[in-house]
Amino acid sequence: MTEAGVRIALHVTARITFVFFLCAFTGNALRDLWPGRFSLRLSRNRDWFLIAMAAAHTFHLAAIIAFFQVVGWSKFHPVTLLGGGFVYLLIYALAAIAIMRLRRGSHGALGGSPRLEATALYLIWLIFALSFFPRIVSGWPVYSLLAVAALAGLVIRIACLLRHKRALATAA
């Protein structure tokens, strides 16, 4: 495979991963804010989106390895391994939690750890955002679209959190 082909594979696998991530990230919040057939389906399939995200990102990992085989491992930076490795651990942890939830037939966070799961999702969101936002200035419209989608996902999650807090305050 050529360097150009590997770069295309890197871009495609990252974007596919992001789409699955965004569905999982916003599904429950969309269901709470705007109940409807689409949002209910996103929420109901959240665990499957997390598993699909892990699968897509595994293909991304294969593309990363192929990239360094093509351009040479001397271009590899150990700091990238630490940061990227941490994100892969988060993604695979979320997928493992999703698989366990699907096997048990439950839909809530596993073992009373909704904060841990939410923290992992927000950290993964941050990595995507840090990847997309700086590239807006490069003039590639796709990065503007991805950055807007990432920002919209965050706004949806925050709006849902604020709505829940207001409801709790009103009930108290």
φ, ψ for residue 127, nearest 5 deg: -60, -45
Q: pLDDT tens track of the chain, all 172 residues?
A: 899 999 999 999 999 999 999 999 999 999 999 999 999 999 999 999 999 999 999 999 999 999 999 999 888 888 888 888 999 999 999 999 999 999 988 655 554 478 889 999 999 999 999 999 888 887 778 889 999 999 999 999 999 999 988 888 888 7
Structure confidence at residue 127 (pLDDT): 94
pLDDT confidence of residue 137:
80
Residue 78's pLDDT is: 85
Given this model, what pLDDT does residue 14 score? 95
pLDDT at 109: 52
Q: What is the pLDDT of residue 140?
A: 76
**Separation between Cα atoms, residue 23 and residue 46, nearest integer Å:** 7
> Rg (Cα) of the chain, in Å, rounded?
18
Report residue 132 CA to chain centroid gap. 13
